[in-house]
Structure 1
């Protein structure tokens, strides 16, 4: 392999390009409709060359990454099917749904390349090429969804490249199985979170105390509801069959707890929460999953002038970068009054150590 083309230079595409550029000998070319993104990507050393013409970006490419939203992937594949791609070229995507796009690619008889579905299960709350980082996928799962007839040597070739470049954990999975798994751990939670936020918003229309008190735990529980509406429209439509089946299971689960509460069945209610507690505690720690992690802690500080500035100054002296800082007015179910948010896990750990060493009471939600 000599050349890679990354189509779509945002967070995921930019991070992939950076991984390839730093850890392989490939010439990395980027394609994007935004000239600004390409200029930023080249200036930051994310790509070797940027293109606004698809033809020049993919010319003689050995591997092509489609790093665009799932709703845009079929149109991009249609365009690639009209181009004289290099013989043996591997085409892969990064979408969070696989069944529909794998079937679509399989039906393109004119596509001169071998399509292998892909899904790097890592992300960030930040977006755009300016947020790209070569450590984004490290220790995350990277799922490949080849068809049974996909040549094994090509799957191995792509796997070796991705393992070396991203340092992710490569997994081979059936496309439909992938969609059910990801539907349960990502797509359904987004629906539930959005539903909770919408329900509370409806209540708040007649009583503003719902939003006033909806801080702390509620805000954290529903954080994924702030995701991009168009992106999630396309994801749900792309994974329609799995999502519908999961929603039916969710409805049965909710009906079960509703009935237990209505009947005053204390044993059933306790069993409901006991199962959830045991399952939550059994989840693996220290691994990157499909939902972006939140690196935050809360700190107890006295209500005196200059105390917040002192905390920020203390972290600044240690070279620890704060992404966000806020005072929590509602402390129900949460310890600490000052909420600190960081971009990286390493910065969170340094901050917790630094603040505790200085005498502050610090609460890390993953520990406390």
Structure 2
């Protein structure tokens, strides 16, 4: 009798183990992997498959840069993980926006959605010039036209929700005048210009050490040639002359540069490239236009900023309400 019990017990253990193996095999099929949960928003699952659906273009770029065996390259896989996290962040926002739009009954009708999607699709085609270039762009991105339409749809819903959320945002005369006074350089009679030089290094510690030497009286150009790490070092860090609102330069860099007093050198400024010491070699400032002349422009600019602030606040509130959970290991 005891032998029979042992046989039954052994059979049950074998059956249980086999069932577990079976589950793992299902999990490891492409279909099972695609269904793997990577996040939850308002109790709605975001799956690995949704992430993967947006990665063909990224993978093509990685293959071009690192070769067919890009998965064996650490830098390539780090970049892929970064891109996956960006896609996930976008999908989380889309889920939050869709949930709130449905809750507030702001999702456009199918007819309006399709009309706006087709309108934006037409604008994309026009921007690319020819149908051939449009199709080439789709191929390069690794998406079909239907997939592109699907990506446009959330933005249409977002526009409807954002319009409703920010419709009561206003700009007072006092607000407009205060903004004008704080940003006179934006409304000069001619574009203000600034002649810049910089020293770019990898770490903040290096930048601080160089700044101390500059403050002690050492020559900027000499130190740029000695310590600089980019292509400007040979020319003593010379960058040239730019308008205050120049968009060809890094935005963080320019925002810091225009605040440097004439003839002075900034404290270390961190950008995507490293740490900069920025010298204002010379600048040309023109007088500002009268407030009355630019009032409408100021109000338009400030209204857009205030609406963006209101939208950001709303999204922050909704994100908290969404009780977002992420499972990064499943990415």
Structure 2-normalised TM-score?
0.23
**Structure (1 or 2) with the larger CA radius of gyration:** 2
Q: Which has the higher helix share?
A: 2
Higher relative contact order (CA 8 A, sep 6+): 2
User: TM-score scaled by structure 1?
Assistant: 0.22
